[in-house]
Structure 1
Amino acid sequence: MDRRNLLRTTVLGAGAVALPFTTWSAAYAAPAQNASGPYGPLQPANGHGIQLPAGFTSQIVARSGQVVTGTTYTWHDAPDGGAVFANGSGWVYVSNSETSAGSGGGASRILFNSSGAIIGASRILSGTNNNCAGGKTPWNTWLSCEEVSLGRVWETHPLGGTAVVRPAMGRFKHEAAAVDPDRQVIYLTEDESNGKLYRFIPDTWGDLSSGRLQVLVAGTGTSGSFSWAAVPDPDGSPTVTRSQVSGAKSFNGGEGCYYANDTLWFTTKGDNRVWQLNLADNTYELAYDDNLVNPGPAPLTGVDNITGSTFGDLYVAEDGGNMEICLITPGDRISVFLRITGQGSSEICGPAFTPAGDRLYFSSQRGTSGSSSGGITYCVTGPFRT
């Protein structure tokens, strides 16, 4: 059985949201390289200003400052990290708001029925600051992360419930979280030029109220082995967490992260890289580096949020760049999946697939206006390979 079919069998047997490929092919000695996309070239921009491959369409789901269609709820400003949760025969899309508490902050949700029609919308977190990215848990909560100094992780409940702060997960400039149910840990990125990669080990799996925070320790190269060391003071005061452990490896602007089958992928915007942690043997390497694409030019810059499809492709969104979502295949080939035109002062955030893998949600944080009040949340449908 080939790697992709093995993955699909594993995913379908688990009855869960599908996850990307297990490890990258050993046949390739370099990070992902340019190639034609699996869906063909981009077509001219549609009425939403989005260039998509043939057969794909887009729709606007919500706009910042406007009431979500079919509801009484006004969509938040600056939509950022997001995720999709199964909800009976339908689903829920959750989105953070990267604004201050005084401007709303927190996170919201939109509920869809089985045909993708909106049936509700509401806030699930308020009074928090610069909620950037986060992560989805197997027990159907959304970890909403504050991207501020001494920021916190908030555990929210997209299917109903009251949000709770989780201080044991550390106070630092949080970006994204990825849950590893195999090791029963949660990985956390830090958006600093000398940020670190952390993991949180709950005392009881499924309960994030207490546990241990650790930081990745490794050499200064782009590949090698790694280990984990305890962070003595997760509160980050008076010494910030990233400065507490000698030998902790620095990453230039940690952004999105995504876990599947013994592998963690995470992005660093400061150097336009996608990193890969091979957790089965505690080694790390580069999955993508814009300086190592040959021949160029590199298709992916402003590397930010990351997610995976049922087929095993990674989808990486740009903060700036050409306002693209790029696709990296299990064969280590990268191409542009979509491009948003006329929104050069924005960034693409929150890409997330429905459980069936046939719809991709994402936002343009500042839309055509370049302002946080101009955010637009989209859905793309089409013949995604599953």
Structure 2
Amino acid sequence: MTVLMTGFPGFLGSALLPGILKRVDSSAICLVQPKFAPLAERRVAELSGADPFLEGRIAVVEGDITQPGLGLAADALTGVTEAWHLAAAYDLAVRRDVAVRVNVDGTRNVLDTLERCPMLTRLHYFSTCYVSGRYAGPFGEEDLEVGAPFNNYYEETKNLAEAEVRRHMAAGMPATVYRPAIVVGDSRTGETQKFDGPYFVMQWLLRQPRRALLPLAGDPTATRVNVVPRDFVVDAVGYLSGLPASEGRTYQLADPRPLTVEEIAEALAEATGRQLIKVPLPRKLARASLAHVPGLYRLMRIPPEAVDYFAHPTTYLTDHCRADLAGSGIEAPPFRSYVDRLVEFMRGHPEVGSAAMF
């Protein structure tokens, strides 16, 4: 029995792997690009040092999802029984050709490779809630092609990639799709590998005096920001992936009671010790200003692409997720209950960046 994982040693894959290997009595192959192999080997050593149970069970194999056959020998993965596909170009400013190559072609190559794995019992595929694009209204776990415009090429190509996965599911491939909302650090420790999303706002507030300016795009009392901590995603996926009933399902790993933009701004202000001076702006003006006004991005360090998520019209339904987690004790904690720990970790770890791995 062998588990295949792409996207290691990324933020979620590194946290998920120990739990997967506790659930299934097998070894793991982590497919990594050559440039990430040294980091992956260090991460394996860290995981094995923290839990001797993992010693000798995780192999780092160099390959590339953008290559047919993943850049491996034809028979290298025939023993795979469970696959986890997390690798993606997660960058809101990604060029379309790069996003297509990694997210769409890469997923297609993984699916084609798994078609040649006769013992495959399940593919666990990581998508994103934002396959919805800018759909105005409630977006369900079975929804996908709803005709809404996309904020960026990341969203568009993740939508196309999930459509590929669903086509294979319809043809008989056993799979489960997970769609996280915006994932931030651990709710207990604040730990994260990347500062993006709400962290851009935290950093901007912390660079200002006690009375801090914060532009708010769109209607901050009407739109909501759906944020979940890494430990909720890891715990929920770890539990759901072990359920026979999760085969064929799609789960939106989102907060069923997300805060409005105004509420999340107030929570961030309180956690950073700032008093907000709110500056209302139309979304397109806020985005264009960051993109084109000389010096503004250098001052604020908020990417123009991030603005869209603070004026996002979609709400995410979590019916399957909540139904199948019922009785497990696993649920998305309220943002206000852990925002202080996110800020504390960010303040203590200036070395953490915002760059994506791909």
Question: More helix per residue: 1 or 2?
Answer: 2
Structure index of larger Rg:
2
